[in-house]
Amino acid sequence: MGTGGPRRGEGPPDGGWGWAVLGACFVVTGFAYGFPKAVSVFFRALMRDFGAGYSEAAWVSSIMLAMLYGTGPVSSVLVARFGCRPVMLEGGLLASAGMVLASFARRLLELYLTAGVLTGLGLALNFQPSLIMLGRYFDRRRPLANGLAAAGSPVFLAALSPLGQQLLERFGWRGGFLLLGGLLLHCCACGALMRPPGPGPRRGGSARGARAEAARQGLSPSAAPAGPARRRLLDVAVCADRAFAVYAVTKFLMALGLFVPAILLVNYAKDAGVPDADAAFLLSIVGFVDIVARPACGALAGLARLRPHVADLFSLALLANGLTDLSSARARSYGALVAFCVAFGLSYGMVGALQFEVLMAAVGAPRFPSALGLVLLIEAVAVLIGPPSAGHLVDALKSYEVIFYLAGSEVVLAGLFMAVATNCCLRRAQDAPPRPGTEGGASDSEAAEAEGDSEPLPTPEPSVPEALELLSPGAGPSAPEVEAEPGLDPESV
């Protein structure tokens, strides 16, 4: 991805109505990540009323998170078919309806289906389209925009947990669920703000403009959609992209251990003899540091010298987070735990600010919706494996030390894999001479943008398969569309 801003009249506006979209994305991200955790304040009341254990009550949040991550491909298909705004409006209604219906539940199964499935699906249908629309409005300032949007997670977590406690004390868990359902209707207001950007190369209807945009994003010109007949609802071909494969493996390894320390932190502190109030305050420390770290890291990643190395920054953030877990596995004093929370919140915020920026830079904006849906599905599998396995190990070993070592090792492995694969595989492939028929990844996208800003290159003749592809129905209105776009070299894309 290039470091310069878009030329006048081309690409995302990098401002304007995009700031309203950013504000909506901030709110939606806060609900998506903060709401499943904030619901945990109602668990004791649910256990008392339904005669259930903690693990049974905790399945409400687990199902909600599984729906948030696991329905990524469904969101991608719906966005491709209907657009971001209608999908988000429907998602807001589903999320609200789930909590309202949950307030009338008489069995745990009904809670699982309403608060878990319906609300989780509604949050998923808001979260993914908001990120897609954010990428359409920001390019040069996209790292900063992603960092500011990601800051919604710790802000809402810090606000929703005390709010849920107050609602529980005044109205009980049924009244609390009913009022939280009304609060989730704000997602509909956020969806109404998702106005598509004005006409431009990203939304042009001609085959020539589509191929030019595809070249700027590192795609083969023959792979660019030229009309409705060639539009894909879910581009699974992105899985063959090496940059996407590296990112997907990294995210799977990261999700196995990234969330475990935060989930076990309070109980770990209590086991070390820390008073309950002080132990609960440790999560607040993580949240406060996280709030500052996300926008700061986004602004740092947007600097011209660092923008091309955003994958390296992501690797460093993962390494810092994993090493923090490893070095704090034996922390027993309250001062050591506070130091761990500061370091963990800083590295955790860096990871949260960079994760989607790295994906968008790796696959390009046209394939980002499909790539995001597939990555969230992969992450759902890891989330369902990592934290539950850690809980079983704690019950079996009666010790948190091994869990911190295991979680830290998984995150460190993710950072090392990302760094080695990016520098030894992807960039080595970038330095190699281009071969016909090779599709570019993130580095090819940078080259294509650089070529678009330079003098036009000699236009090669298209190969026979490319000519047949361009002559197929829907590829273009006339024969001249077969010729390559001036200034774009398909062999270098």
Mean pLDDT score, 288-302: 89
pLDDT digits (tens, 9 = 90+) for 131-180: 889 888 988 888 888 889 988 888 888 788 788 888 888 999 999 999 99
- In this structure, are 173 and 240 located in the same domain? no
Residues 116 and 252 both lie in one domain: no
* CA nearest neighbour of 383 among 125, 29, 68, 166: 68
Segment 59-84, tens digit of pLDDT: 888 888 888 888 888 888 898 889 89
Residue 4 covered by a domain: no
Please tell me the predicted confidence (pLDDT) of residue 186. 94
Question: Is residue 22 scored above 80 in pLDDT?
Answer: yes
The predicted pLDDT at position 26 comes to 94
The beta-strand segments (E) located in 56-117 are: none
Q: How many domains does the chain have?
A: 2
- Residue 470: inside a domain, yes or no? no
Q: Clarify whether residues 266 and 401 are in a common domain.
A: yes
State how far Cα 67 lies from the chain centre.
14
Quote the pLDDT of residue 141.
86
Which of 195, 221, 248 terminates a domain? The answer is 195
Same domain, 181 and 259: no
476 domain residue, yes or no: no
- Are 354 and 301 in contact by the 8 Å Cβ rule? The answer is yes
Same domain, 179 and 38: yes
Give the angle 429-353-88 at the CA atoms, nearest 5°: 105
> Do residues 135 and 278 both lie within one domain?
no
Q: How confident is the model at residue 28 (pLDDT cuts 50, 70, 90)?
A: very high
DSSP label at 88? H
pTM: 0.68
Asked which of 172, 195, 218 is the last residue of a domain, the reply is 195
Q: Residue 217 domain-assigned?
A: no
At 251, the pLDDT band (50, 70, 90 cuts) reads: very high
Question: Quick one: 239 and 183 in the same domain?
Answer: no
The span from the CA of 98 to the CA of 342, in Å, is: 36
Q: Output the CA torsion 329→335→339→340 (10° steps).
A: 30
Closest to 330 (Cα-Cα) out of 408, 248, 400, 243: 400
Q: What is the mean pLDDT of residues 21-33?
A: 92
3-state helix, strand, coil in the chain (%, to 5): 75, 0, 25
Q: Which domain holds residue 306?
A: 235-427
Least confident of 125-134, 243-252, 381-390: 381-390
Mean predicted confidence (pLDDT) in 279-291: 85
**To the nearest whole number, what is the mean pLDDT of the chain?**
78
Residues 6+ apart with CB under 8 A from 278: 269, 334
Which pLDDT score is estimated for 199? 59
Which tops the pLDDT comparison, 5 or 311? 311
The residue among 432 and 415 whose pLDDT is bigger is: 415
Domain containing residue 162: CATH number: 1.20.1250.20
Choose one of 165, 195, 225: the last residue of a domain: 195
Task: Judge whether residue 36 has pLDDT over 70.
Answer: yes
CA nearest 185: which of 67, 71, 102, 98?
98
Q: Are residues 189 and 259 in the same domain?
A: no
Better-predicted residue by pLDDT, 449 or 386:
386
> Are 247 and 373 in a shared domain?
yes
Whether 410 maps to a domain, the answer reads: yes
How does pLDDT run across 187-240, given as a tens digit for each residue? 999 999 998 886 544 433 444 544 544 444 444 444 444 444 455 777 888 888
Same domain, 366 and 307: yes
Predicted pLDDT of residue 317: 94
Helical segments of 272-400, H only: 276-301, 310-327, 334-363, 368-397
Q: How confident is the model at residue 431 (pLDDT cuts 50, 70, 90)?
A: low
Task: Please indicate, yes or no, if residue 458 is contained in any of the structural domains.
Answer: no
Q: Are residues 244 and 185 in the same domain?
A: no
Has residue 86 got a pLDDT over 90?
Answer: yes
**Mean pLDDT, range 268-278, rounded to an integer:** 81
Does 210 fall in a domain?
A: no
Asked if residue 151 belongs to a domain, the reply is: yes
Is 399 in the same domain as 255? yes
Give the three-class secondary structure for 265: helix
Nearest residue to 162 (alpha-carbon basis) of 267, 321, 38, 245:
38
